[in-house]
Amino acid sequence: MTDTNRRTFLAGAALTAGAAMTLASNTTASAQTRGGAGAEPTAPDPATYPKPPYPTDMQPWPGLASRMNPRPDHGETSYKGSGKLAGKKALITGGDSGIGRAAAIAYAREGADVAINYLPAEEPDAKEVVALIEAEGRKAVAIPGDLRSEEFCRSLVSQAADQLGGLDILVNNAALQQTRASIADISSELFDDTMKTNVYAPFWLTKAALERMGAGAVIVNTSSEQAGNPSPEIMHYAMTRAAVLNFTKGLAKELAPRGIRVNAVAPGPFWTPLQISGGATEEKLRTFGADSPMGRAGQPAEIAGLYVAAADPLLSYSTGQIFGATGGNGQPA
């Protein structure tokens, strides 16, 4: 990547999350305790985060963070807000676990009311997130459903906006990733499901959201380092992340005159249910993130601050930007 290209990415935005939490606890009650409004934030200490080799405790799709070993840190005890998103209304897809959960916690602690979408099978994780949002005195809305349906996507936006009393931020974060050894093993059904979840859904959701959004609104898309450096066993997933990157840049240009910003976050290897529920082989999972300069997978808490930055009204001149967190692996081209 040239120096000119590198300058197109925002490299700032300090992460305000990162402390280790008790990874083994997986009950709703313990999540409420960790997310309580009076809880003291722990000091950031990424050095204590787990490193490879990781356990290979696989789960069926879509997987639950509450059953992962080790359990991910979403910032339950570490993220401390400062009112950056006070009064905002946000909808986050895939908000029950992983990066979406970390964003939901951060948004609530920055003063936003939050609606999350997830699959019905992810209800146990979603209940924990709702408790964490409500512990901050913010409104939480839980709307399960399948994003592969255009009809549901439109209904999701409508329900979220109606129950929140408006919509200022849309985070297109949910994704499907299933590893396959070769292109011959990627069925048309899987290819279609991946495209519907990762490309069609953000398109449908954004169209519906724009009918309700005004100046000052923000759309935040989740891309990936896979957009510029695809792994062969998830090439079908990587294609969708590249599409989201271009969608972000093109849409930002269209919406700038309306005062609506569009940014993306490009994660590297992060420890989420996406990996343990078919997104990686057991062999890949065991060494997940080992090839990054940091030598480990990132924890969702370590990227939450970038989702806040991408939507922060103070960064009103930043649109069409890609916020990266890849553990030193660089940015997608």
List, in order of start, the domains of the chain with CATH numbers. 64-325 (3.40.50.720)
The answer to whether residue 107 is catalytic is no
Annotated catalytic residue within 79, 107, 118, 237? 237
**Distance of alpha carbon 146 from alpha carbon 108, whole angstroms:** 24
Q: From first to last of the 333 residues of the chain, give the pLDDT tens digit.
A: 444 343 343 333 333 333 333 333 333 333 333 333 444 554 457 888 999 999 999 999 999 999 999 999 999 999 999 999 999 999 999 999 999 999 999 999 999 999 999 999 999 999 999 999 999 999 999 999 999 999 999 999 999 999 999 999 999 999 999 999 999 999 999 999 999 999 999 999 999 999 999 999 999 999 999 999 999 999 999 999 999 999 999 999 999 999 999 999 999 999 999 999 999 999 999 999 999 999 999 999 999 999 999 999 999 999 999 999 999 998 875
- Going by the DSSP 8-state scheme, the letter that residue 272 receives in this structure is S
The DSSP string of 144-193 is E--TT-HHHHHHHHHHHHHHHTS-SEEEE--------SSGGG--HHHHHH
Please tell me the pTM assigned to this model. 0.87
C-alpha dihedral (306, 307, 313, 317), degrees to nearest 10: 60
Number of helical (H) and strand (E) elements in the chain, helices listed first: 11, 7
